[in-house]
Amino acid sequence: MIKIAFILVLFNSFCVFQSFATEFFDDFEIHYKLGNEYNNRGMLEEAIAEYKEAIKINSYHANIYNNLGVAYSKKRMFDEEIQSYKTAIDVDAGCKDAYFNLAIAYGLKGMVDEEISTYQKLINIDPENLEGLYNLGHAYRAKEKYDESISAYKKVTELYPDYLNAYFNLGVVYGQKGMVAEEILQYKKALALDPDNAKIHFNLGIAYGEMKMIEDQIREFKEAISIDPYYFKAYKNLESVYRQKGLIEEADEELSKYNALTREMR
C-alpha cells in the first residue's frame, strides 16, 4: 500500500526572533538574525557559527537552539541536531517547535519509540496540533500499533474534517487490519474531497479486489489511469484482473500499454 506524506513538513518549525523595544537591540539579536538569514540561504556553517555566538551572549533562549538543530539537520549531523532540540526543551518545556522537530529527527533515525513519546508530549501541550497528531498516526503504524494509529488519524479528521491524507491513511491502516469494508469507506471519504486523486482510486481498486467486487475494482483502476495515464501499477493490476477473468485480449492490451510506458520512460 502507498504511504502518502510521511511527514507534512519536515522543518516548518523554524523560529523567528521576537520584536523587542529599541533599547534591547543588541549583539545577541544581530547574531541570531544573521544565523537565520544564513540558515535560510543554505549557508549552514555560517549559520551555526552565528547561533553559537548568540548562545555565548544568551544561553537561555529556546528558539535559537531549535534553529541550530534545523541547521544541523540540513548538514545531516543528527546527533548534534537531537541534542540542540533537547536543549531547547530544557530551556523552555513549552517549545512546541522543538518537540515537533525532535520527533521528526527520532523518526528519521529509526528511533520510533522516542518519536512516539515526543509527539505525545507535543500533543499534551497542544492537543489540536495537526502535524503532531498526523505524524503520530504514522509512527504508530510503523510500530504496527494499528489501533493507536487509527485513533490518531481519527482525531485529525475530527479536528480537521477536510484533511484528505488522514482519511487516506485511515484506509491504509484499516486495510492492514483486514477491515476492508472500513478501508473502502475511508477511501470514499477521501475521494469526496479529491475526486481526481489517482492514488486513492488505485487503492480503492485494490480494496474492492479483496472483497471480490471485481467490476468495481476494474472501474477504479480505469479511473486511476484516466486521471494519470502514466500510472504504471494500474495498468499492471488491470491486466492481472482481466487475466484472472479469462479476458485474455483485454489483459494483453493492458500489458502492451504497460510495456510501452516502461520503454518510454527509459
pLDDT digits (tens, 9 = 90+) for 82-107: 999 999 999 999 999 999 999 999 99
Amino acid, single-letter form, for residue 221:
F
252 within some domain? yes
> What is the distance, to the nearest Å, from the Cα of residue 96 to the centroid of all Cα atoms in its chain?
18
177 within some domain? no
Q: What is the DSSP string of 129-151?
A: -HHHHHHHHHHHHHTT-HHHHHH
96 within some domain? no
| Rg over CA atoms, the chain | 24
263 within some domain? yes
89 within some domain? no
- What is the residue range of 220's domain? 195-266
Residues 43-78 pLDDT 10s: 999 999 999 999 999 999 999 999 999 999 999 999
265 within some domain? yes
246 within some domain? yes
Instruction: Give the chain's domain count.
Output: 1
Whether this prediction's pTM lies above 0.75 is answered by: yes
150 within some domain? no
Q: Which region, left, alpha or beta, applies to residue 216 given φ > 0 means left and ψ of -120 to 50 means alpha?
A: alpha
DSSP letter at 210 equals H
Can you give the CATH number for the domain in which 261 is found? 1.25.40.10
